[in-house]
Amino acid sequence: MATVGFIGLGIMGRPMLKNLLKAGHTVIAYGRNPNKLDACVADGAERGASNRDVGSRASIIITMLPDGPEVEEVVLGENGILDGCKPGSLIIDMSSINPLVSQKIAAACAVKKVDFLDAPVSGGEPKAIEGTLAIMVGGSEETFHKVEPLLQSMGSSVTLTGPVGAGNTTKLANQIMVACNIAAMGEALALATRCGLDPNVVVNAVKSGLAGSAVLNAKAPMLIARNFKPGFTIRLHQKDLRNALATAGTNRMFLPLTAIVQQMLLSLMGDGKGELDHSAIATFVEELSHIEIKAPSTEP
């Protein structure tokens, strides 16, 4: 069992930390929010005093943060993780960030003889709780195999996708597919509802065919029930599509569908919906068509 530092105790981080504890690892937790840190200590984690303190006490340090600037600050900033790390330590960034930022951090780690993996996840809060996340890893094969069992305590699918940065590139591809899928699902169910059909019946009719997907299974019931409690927020998905478009620009790529959905997400954020679950992407189409996707009323 390893001594693992864990920084980033939010909607995804805390359940991931709890699964490391369940697997028998010693976990040293740290985050800026004292209430979240107290909760993780109550779960069984040891209390870290700072990013640097966690880096000095653990041989493996995991970060789970909102975006690249936060990861840079926590790892490379003053009193950061890297200030405390000993040579031979390993930092695993499980945040979803721009691949170029992952490579920048990895280069700084290499100077201090600290290994680095980028290992973003997919599955949202439900799969973080279950320990069944899909984990997409970038880094050396040797380092990956050393920590693969540890990652498997948080995910049911752990895949080495290439060198550092490949994990986040794979995650961006994942986020494009998920966002466009939710937007298409919204259009389809809005049309069905406008034509007088029960969207539940439509979903059940198509889910075993080619249109079936994990997105449809997870997000259609939330949309129809008007349950937008976030497993993954619109704000964070917008950030991922922004990073996807930036990466596309760097590589002279045109991603027209991604750009359209990105604009939809920005509009929803402007309407105050940034903290809703990303299933609420479908509400963009609802508002334009003046229709609400829901089961028909059974009242007489």
Residues labelled as active-site residues: 171
What is the three-state SS of the chain? CCEEEEECCCCCHHHHHHHHHHCCCEEEEECCCHHHHHHHHHHCCEECCCHHHHHHHCCEEEECCCCHHHHHHHHHCCCCHHHHCCCCCEEEECCCCCHHHHHHHHHHHHHCCCEEEECCEECHHHHHHHCCEEEEEECCHHHHHHHHHHHHCCEEEEEEEECCCHHHHHHHHHHHHHHHHHHHHHHHHHHHHHCCCCHHHHHHHHCCCCCCCHHHHHHHHHHHCCCCCCCCEHHHHHHHHHHHHHHHHHCCCCCHHHHHHHHHHHHHHHCCCCCCEHHHHHHHHHHHHCCCCCCCCCCC
